[in-house]
Amino acid sequence: MVQASRLPLQYMAAFRAVARGENVRAAAEQLHLTHSAVSQQIRALEAQIGFPLFQRAGRGIQLNAAGRALQSALEKAWTELELGLRAASAADGSRMQSLNITCTPSFAQRWLIPRLGRWQAAHPDITLKLFTLQRVIDLEQEGFHLALRQGAGPWPGLVNEVMMESRQIVVAAPALAQRLMNAPLQTLAGESLLGDAEQWTQWFAQAGLACRVVPSASFNDGGLLVQAAEQGMGVALARELLCADALLDGRLQRLPGPTLTGMSQRRYHIVYPPALRDEPALRTLCEWLHAEMAESARRLQAMAPP
Span 11-44, pLDDT tens digits: 888 899 899 888 888 888 878 888 888 889 999 8
How many angstroms separate the Cα of 183 from the Cα of each of 176, 214, 215, 223? Answer: 11, 20, 19, 27
Residues near 25 by beta carbon (within 8 Å), at least 6 away in sequence: 35
**pLDDT of res. 264:** 47
Residue 53: is its pLDDT beyond 50?
yes
**Mean of pLDDT values over 278-290:** 93
Confidence of residue 228 (pLDDT cuts 50, 70, 90): very high
- Mean pLDDT over 131-152 rounds to 88
Question: Which regions of the chain does DSSP assign to beta strands (E)?
Answer: 54-57, 60-63, 98-103, 127-132, 146-151, 159-164, 168-172, 193-194, 235-239, 253-254, 267-272
Taking residues 105-121, report their average pLDDT: 94
Local confidence band at 306 (pLDDT 50, 70, 90 cut-offs): low
Residues above pLDDT 90, as percent of the chain: 44
Decide which of 88 and 268 is more confident: 268
For residue 90, the model assigns a pLDDT of 57
Distance, CA of 124 to CA of 84 (rounded, Å) = 27
Domains, the chain, ordered by start: 4-92 (1.10.10.10), 98-163+268-303 (3.40.190.10), 168-262 (3.40.190.10)
Q: What is d(CA 120, CA 15) in angstroms, rounded to the nearest whole number?
A: 39
Helix (H) or strand (E) holding 79: helix 65-92
Q: Which of 182-191, 220-229, 273-282 has the highest mean pLDDT?
A: 220-229
- Which one has a higher pLDDT value, 79 or 127? 127
pTM above 0.85, yes or no: no
Flag whether pLDDT at 244 surpasses 70: yes
- State the pLDDT confidence band at 159, using cuts at 50, 70 and 90: very high
CB of 177 closer than 8 Å to CB of 251: no
Whether the pLDDT of residue 204 is over 60: the answer is: yes
How much is the pLDDT for 48? Answer: 85
Task: For 271-301, give one letter per residue: b (16+ CB within 10 A) or e.
Answer: bbbeebeebebbebbbebbeebbeebbeebe
The residue that leads in pLDDT, 266 or 210, is 210
Strands of the sheet with 146-151, listed across from one edge: 127-132, 98-103, 146-151, 267-272, 159-164
Q: Which of 198, 243, 204, 245 is nearest to 224 (CA)?
A: 243
Q: Is residue 9 over pLDDT 80?
A: no
Using one digit for the tens of pLDDT, what is the confidence trace for 54-112?
Answer: 998 777 889 999 989 999 888 888 877 777 766 666 565 555 588 999 999 999 999 99
Distance CA 287, CA 280 (A): 11
> Is 214 in a helix, a strand, or coil?
coil
Contact call for residues 241 and 166 (beta carbons, < 8 A): yes
Q: Which residue has the higher pLDDT, 3 or 49?
A: 49
Where residue 304 falls among pLDDT bands split at 50, 70, 90? Answer: confident
